[in-house]
Amino acid sequence: MTALVGGVNPGRAEAAVPPVRTQHVEYFPGPLSEPRQVTVPAGTPGRIARHTPTPAGATSAVKALQRTGPVSGRVDLVVLGDGYTADEQGEFAVDAEEKLDAIFGIEPYRSYRGLFNVWLVNTVSNESGVSGDPGADVVKDTALGASFFCDGVERLLCVHTDEVARYAELAPDADIVFVVANSTKYGGAGYSAADLPSGSAFHGVATMSSDNDRSYLIGAHELGHSIGHLADEYQYTGYGTYPSAEEPAVANLTLRRDPGATKWYRWLGEQDPSGSVVGTYEGGGYYEAGVYRPTETSLMRSLASTEFNLVGREAMIAGFCADADALTSSLPRSRPIGPGRRITVRLAPLTGLADLELTWYADGRQVRWATGELSVTPRELGVRGRGHEVTATVTDHATAIRDPAVRAQTTTSLTWTVR
């Protein structure tokens, strides 16, 4: 007789039990509360009755709500609706636009909206509304499986991220995905790139209810993570002291208590739009001690604040410019151009905080008279011979930027070789 080891007969092949895949999500218990973190089983948000997968070869309508430039030079934001029937797609478009207008009313989104393309994808559900609204016993058949009471947490609005990815791929490109759920109930969630299906190209997913006037802040906060790479500035009671001696890589947390030694020393003493003065405030990154944040509160600490702090604004601008270019041109740079060929460039339509300056260079020497010109020829810049180069450069001189490294990140150059 073969002995059993740990209740398993080693002489018999046992069927492998696949591990349960989980997702780490952020949720928001109330419209004025600090966020919370929770781990939920992937693909099983709340209670779903008759989940309808994306049909093979689905051709959901895609609408460009805002297109300011080529997908290669923009942050492409895709908005999906859930709990909207075929007859409610017009309502979805209105709800989506209202949410986006609210988010883009916050700085620096407002000033840098011109770096975004926004795509709406009609995502048709079999039933109107979403599961868990108003109670846990309510179950709806929707395209993305949006549900409150996800893993028993009432305000956690989860979705089937595999289905989200399939629909998002119908858009020309997807860097960030928002899901607007057809509901008046407050709630939402944020998924980081690490918790999305393998192969997903976008940086994050945020969910929010359509008809709650504070839910837009969930999307604004989540973009702080996915675009600005900002850390959460809140802490949990009982978490104690920050466990690492290594300086956090994020822009808005530091281990250095001396204000002059912080990475945001250029902003020290400034009155902040979130209400306090920039300094060092203990607590952040979920820990109570040993780590410091720039301000008393901000949108990365609590949804009671509707503002990023100055440090967060600068990090967000850097994130925008990591994914998008303020300067674009349709003239190919892969082959030489003639000295009489007209070079036309386009500046992203930025406003407010942004302060773009366009300059031209011939073989690295600035041609000062051409500053601000959107269309020139190499000959006009004094270039006539073979092998010379013409370069257009745009730099953002926004006062919201003080770090030279961020200033360099906002600078975009395009170069053509002259034959």
Place of tokens 């530091």: 254
Residue 103 dihedral angles phi and psi, to the nearest 5°: -65, -45
- Mean pLDDT value across the chain: 89
- How much of the chain, in percent, has pLDDT values that exceed 90? 79
In the prediction, which pLDDT does 31 show? 81
Q: What is the pLDDT of residues 113-155, one digit of tens each?
A: 999 999 999 999 999 999 999 999 999 999 999 999 998 999 9
Residue 407 dihedral angles phi and psi, to the nearest 5°: -55, -45
Place of tokens 């053509």: 416
What is the model's pTM? 0.89
Q: Going from the N-terminus, what domains does the chain have, and what CATH number goes with each? A: 22-48+57-226 (3.40.390.10), 231-324 (no CATH), 325-417 (2.60.40)
Dihedral Cα 94, 98, 103, 104, nearest 10 deg: 90
Band of pLDDT at residue 33, cut at 50, 70 and 90: confident
Question: Could you tell me the two tokens for 399?
Answer: 């006062």
Band of pLDDT at residue 387, cut at 50, 70 and 90: confident
Band of pLDDT at residue 8, cut at 50, 70 and 90: very low
User: What are 2's strand-pairing partners?
Assistant: none
Q: Where does residue 57 rank: exposed (0-12), middle (13-18), buried (19+ CB within 10 A)?
A: exposed
Q: Is the pLDDT of residue 25 over 70?
A: yes
Of residues 96 and 1, more confidence is placed in: 96
In the prediction, which pLDDT does 5 show? 29
In the prediction, which pLDDT does 10 show? 38
Q: Is the pLDDT of residue 1 over 60?
A: no
SS3 assignment for 58-106: CCCCEEEEECCCCHHHCEEEEEEEECCCHHHHHHHHHHHHHHHHHHCCC
Q: What is the pLDDT of residues 357-383, one digit of tens each?
A: 999 999 999 999 999 999 999 999 999
Contact 310, 268 (CB under 8 A): no
Of residues 300 and 203, more confidence is placed in: 300
Q: What is the pLDDT of residues 82-109, one digit of tens each?
A: 999 999 999 999 999 999 999 999 999 9
In the prediction, which pLDDT does 378 show? 96
- Amino acid at residue number 362: A
In the prediction, which pLDDT does 202 show? 79
In the prediction, which pLDDT does 41 show? 78
In the prediction, which pLDDT does 7 show? 35
Q: Average pLDDT in the 272-291 region?
A: 96
- Cα dist from 376 to 85, 372, 380, 386, 411, whole Å: 51, 11, 7, 18, 20
In the prediction, which pLDDT does 111 show? 98
Band of pLDDT at residue 40, cut at 50, 70 and 90: confident
Q: Is the pLDDT of residue 2 over 70?
A: no
Contact 160, 193 (CB under 8 A): no
The rounded distance, in Å, linking the Cα atoms of 177 and 169 is 10
Q: Radius of gyration of the chain from Cα atoms?
A: 25
Q: What is the pLDDT of residues 310-362, one digit of tens each?
A: 999 999 999 999 999 999 999 999 999 999 999 999 999 999 999 999 999 99
Q: Average pLDDT in the 198-203 region?
A: 76
In the prediction, which pLDDT does 119 show? 97
- Amino acid at residue number 258: D
In the prediction, which pLDDT does 192 show? 82
Q: What is the pLDDT of residues 389-414, one digit of tens each?
A: 999 999 999 999 999 999 999 999 99
